[in-house]
Chains A and B, each alone.
Chain A
Amino acid sequence: MQQIIFFFIRNKNFLLFLLLFTISIFLTVNSHSFHSNKVATSANFFSGGIYSIKENVRDYFNLRTQNNLLVEENNRLRELLSNAGSDMRTADIDSTNVLWNYDFVAARVINNSYSKTKNNLTIDKGSNDSLAIDMGVISSKGVVGIVNSVSANYATVQSVLNTNSQINAKLKNTNDFGTLKWQTGSPYIVTLIDIPRQVQFQLGDTIVTDGKSTIFPEGILIGSIADYKLANNQDYYELSIELFNNMTNIGHVYVIENKAAPEIMELENAVEDVE
């Protein structure tokens, strides 16, 4: 017994180190999977508060670009509105229209990273504003990411620029779909994989979200084709997509709540259980 106690006392530094190192590795591995209860995220009262203060100062330096973005978006929406004309008025009556399935919550980005391989953003809305995990996040120009943890007043968003991110996307013209991933490196370029070889496309074609998942509605802009090559097995294309969004300077974002998501998930889970 005494031997054991002496062993512990002699090696207490090593054992302490081993314990803490194991905890850290566990936290790291935990953060690599999307659906797990994350322990250490910046969506908490303390770090969220500090980031808010920081962003309150930093905001002033971006006012001009952010205003331009908002004016651009207003312009686009006005065009849509005036072109839609009478269609929009009849839509008022039809409350079952698919558009009403989505709720949008405006939020401000208080922390953003784009230089690591697993990038996250922090936004200043949380479960008090009915945000939940797995909601899509877009800006006025296109897709930004997916909510991956929430606290009462803050949430973290797994950016498109995260090697763990996989987003369903399709070619706007032909409706052929694939998976959007990020291969690290440039924060302006992402990769669309699994596009079959027989698909016809041109450089500059637009890529939009697919709408098959419950996260993003169909047709949210992503980017345009900048380059292409055949994947290793020669059956699929790998397209390099230039994002419409400038991920290095994101100010205001919209979080999308799909009201039909719980019902769809329930249905899909039921089918899986039967199988």
Chain B
Amino acid sequence: MWNNEALVNAVRFIVLVLVQVILLNNINLFGYVNPYLYVLFIIVYPFSGNKSLLIGLAFVLGLSIDIFSDSGGIHAAACSFLAYVRPAFLKVSFGVSYEYNMVKISTAAIGERLTYISLMVFTHHLILFSLEIFNFNHILLILKSTLFSGIFSVVLIFCTILLFSRRS
């Protein structure tokens, strides 16, 4: 059934990929800091939605970014891992019974929301940069990239959620 929820997710998917590859991959703040806004798709995917479907979608999302940026499969790996561990992060941030309490990202308390977004973003970035650099001699570079890109992404994702949650 092609209902409203699915349509919103499909549009969000396409818009996020295009914004990421055309705009955000070219920011290069201080020479190497890029935000990865497309993680937003996995973050705001309905909390009670189908988990297997999310893992599949996250993989396709990451692979699309990989195709555009010629990076092999690093985004796909980071995204599918993120989709798999998301339920655990939800439990940590919003409490064990998040599924029955009908928690929504746009209505949750600021602190809980920030914990959840940070956990997701930093996990994603750590895997992403480890796989991209793929060398333990450069572990400082991995941590530095994760930290700076992570802060940038968290701020951007937080602002985007604030901006688009007015309507509801």
Residue positions of A touching B, CB distance < 8 A = 12-14, 16-17, 20-21, 23-32, 40-42, 44, 46-47, 50-51, 54, 111, 113-118, 120, 122, 156, 163, 184, 186-187
User: Which 3 residue pairs across A and B have the least CB separation, nearest first?
Assistant: A31-B72, A27-B73, A24-B77
Residue positions of B touching A, CB distance < 8 A = 18, 21-22, 25, 28, 31-34, 51-52, 55-56, 59, 62-63, 66-74, 76-77, 80-81, 83-84, 131-135, 138, 141
**Distance to closest chain A CB from B161 (angstroms):** 25
Q: How far is the CA of A32 from the CA of B18 in the complex (A)?
A: 25
**Distance to closest chain A CB from B46 (angstroms):** 16
**Distance to closest chain B CB from A119 (angstroms):** 9
Contacts of A17 in B (CB 8 A): 55, 80-81, 83-84
For residue B83, which residue of chain A has the nearest CB? Answer: A17
| A115 touching B32 in the complex, CB below 8 Å, given contacts A17-B83, A42-B68 | yes
For residue A122, which residue of chain B has the nearest CB? Answer: B70
Contacts of A47 in B (CB 8 A): 21, 67-68
A-B CB contact pairs (8 Å), 27 listed: A16-B56, A17-B55, A17-B84, A21-B77, A21-B81, A23-B73, A24-B76, A24-B80, A27-B73, A28-B72, A28-B77, A28-B131, A28-B134, A30-B72, A31-B73, A41-B67, A41-B70, A46-B67, A50-B18, A50-B22, A50-B68, A54-B22, A111-B68, A116-B69, A117-B132, A184-B138, A186-B31
Q: How far is the CA of A115 from the CA of B32 in the complex (A)?
A: 5
Contacts of B25 in A (CB 8 A): 113
Contacts of A21 in B (CB 8 A): 77, 80-81, 84
Query: Are A32 and B132 neighbours in the complex by a CB distance under 8 Å?
Result: no
Query: Are A118 and B34 neighbours in the complex by a CB distance under 8 Å?
Result: no
SS of B interface (majority): helix
Contacts of A31 in B (CB 8 A): 70-73
Query: Are A40 and B56 neighbours in the complex by a CB distance under 8 Å?
Result: no
For residue A162, which residue of chain B has the nearest CB? Answer: B70
Query: Are B77 and A25 neighbours in the complex by a CB distance under 8 Å?
Result: yes
Query: Are B72 and A32 neighbours in the complex by a CB distance under 8 Å?
Result: yes
| A20 touching B59 in the complex, CB below 8 Å, given contacts A14-B84, A28-B72 | yes
Contacts of B34 in A (CB 8 A): 115
Q: How far is the CA of A117 from the CA of B142 in the complex (A)?
A: 10
For residue B63, which residue of chain A has the nearest CB? Answer: A40
**Distance to closest chain A CB from B80 (angstroms):** 4
Q: How far is the CA of A35 from the CA of B145 in the complex (A)?
A: 29
Contacts of B74 in A (CB 8 A): 24, 28
Q: How far is the CA of A115 from the CA of B33 in the complex (A)?
A: 8
Query: Are A115 and B80 neighbours in the complex by a CB distance under 8 Å?
Result: no
Q: How far is the CA of A238 from the CA of B51 in the complex (A)?
A: 52
Contacts of A29 in B (CB 8 A): 72
Contacts of A20 in B (CB 8 A): 55-56, 59, 76, 80
Known: A16-B55, A117-B133. 20 other contacts (CB 8 A): A12-B52, A16-B56, A20-B56, A23-B73, A24-B77, A25-B77, A27-B66, A28-B131, A28-B134, A40-B63, A51-B68, A111-B68, A113-B25, A115-B34, A116-B32, A116-B71, A117-B141, A118-B71, A120-B69, A184-B138
